[in-house]
Amino acid sequence: MLPCTDFQPDADAARPDGYQASFLTTTDLSFTVRGRRASMESLDTSQWTGQIDLSEYRKADTYEVPVTINLPDGYELPDPPIAVVKIEKDTAN
C-alpha cells in the first residue's frame, strides 16, 4: 500500500448548471493505493487524476463527496477519499 497526499481534484467537474463549486477541504486529500510491490517502486503519481461527480447535488449546500481516482491498470483504491464541497448559486450569470 502507498499513502498519497498533495492531490486536489477539479472543483468544477460536473457541477450543476447555474451553480459554482468550491472545495472546503483545507488539506490535500490522502488515500491509500494497493498494487504489486514491484510495481509500487516505479509508480508515477504525477499521472493520476481525480474527479468528483456533482450531478446528484442539485441545490446550494455543503456536501461530502467521494473522489474518483483514475489509477493505472494493476492498482486499486480500497476506500475513496472524501472532499468537502460547497455548491452556491452562480451570481455572475
Return the higher-pLDDT residue of 93 and 45.
45
Q: What percent of the chain has a predicted confidence (pLDDT) above 90?
A: 4
Is the pTM higher than 0.75? The answer reads no
**Residue in 9, 36, 21 with CA at minimum distance from that of residue 85:** 21
Q: Which of 20, 23, 33 is nearest to 78 (CA)?
A: 33
Tens digits of residue pLDDT in 27-63: 677 788 888 777 777 777 777 777 888 888 888 999 9
Per the listing, cell 498519497 goes with: 4
Q: Write out the three cell numbers for 17.
A: 448548471
